[in-house]
Amino acid sequence: MGIMSGKKILIMGLRNKWSIAWGITKKLYEGGAELAFTYQGEREEAGVRDILKSLGGEPMQNNFPLIKCDLGSDDEIEAAFSELGALWGRLDGVVHAVAHAQSEDLQNDFIFTSRGGFAHALNISAYTLVYVARKASELMADGGAILTLTYMGSERVFPGYNVMGVAKAALEATVRYLAHSLGAKGIRVNAISSGPIKTLSSKAVKNFSSILSVVDDKAPLKRGVGADEIGGSALYLLSDLSSAVTGEIHYVDCGFNIMG
């Protein structure tokens, strides 16, 4: 029996074995959680099915429902939670590991961010948490936990992170407002602010390698964080151990955020 035994958790944003969502998935699985996953399209579905084989067997054989959901569509979000409700009847937690910005807005100077690119980054990276929380709460009659992922670029300038920094700032404010909106229902909303970590998405950030080197030099632990370590904190925030924690931005960055 694990710390998450009996908990039904939906993970949104798992794409490959290098992602933070995979580190979270492994820790939740080890903790005994029952897991479901969303995917955006056929290519993403194949990738998720392949990676889940390392947990043992095919997804549906191992009770891992895979549900199509393009987070850019309210209709698809609603349909996904309707399908999940029919399968499970209830939900205990959601991992929102989703963010996106147009590549040119990460390569050019921030001042050249387009109106469309700005709207896109905030829509996918921040607003989707609002709609996901709304639909998830309908399946959380006995309370639950919602977790998203952010980064310190929300409060300090990391050249190249650009519009994603603005989107993450909006996301963190969204966490606080959702925590207030859903608190009376016993639903907690938190975010993990991880240190920089090599993922496929991070490759789109200009000069990302220089950000990694600074962390290794300045963080109190003199190293960067691993996806499994982020997964450990996610396990805590989604479990009953954190039953009095909500509206928080929890740093998992080897202490880098405390340094001047």
Catalytic residue numbers?
151, 161
Residue among 162, 239, 241 at smallest CA distance from 208: 162
Residue among 20, 23, 25 at smallest CA distance from 10: 25
Query: Phi and psi (nearest 5°) for 194?
Result: -90, 160
Q: What is the DSSP secondary-structure string of 51-62?
A: HHGGGTS-TTTT
Q: Which residue has the tokens 């490759």?
A: 203
Residue among 153, 66, 62 at smallest CA distance from 106: 153
Q: How many CB atoms lie within 10 A of CB 173?
A: 12
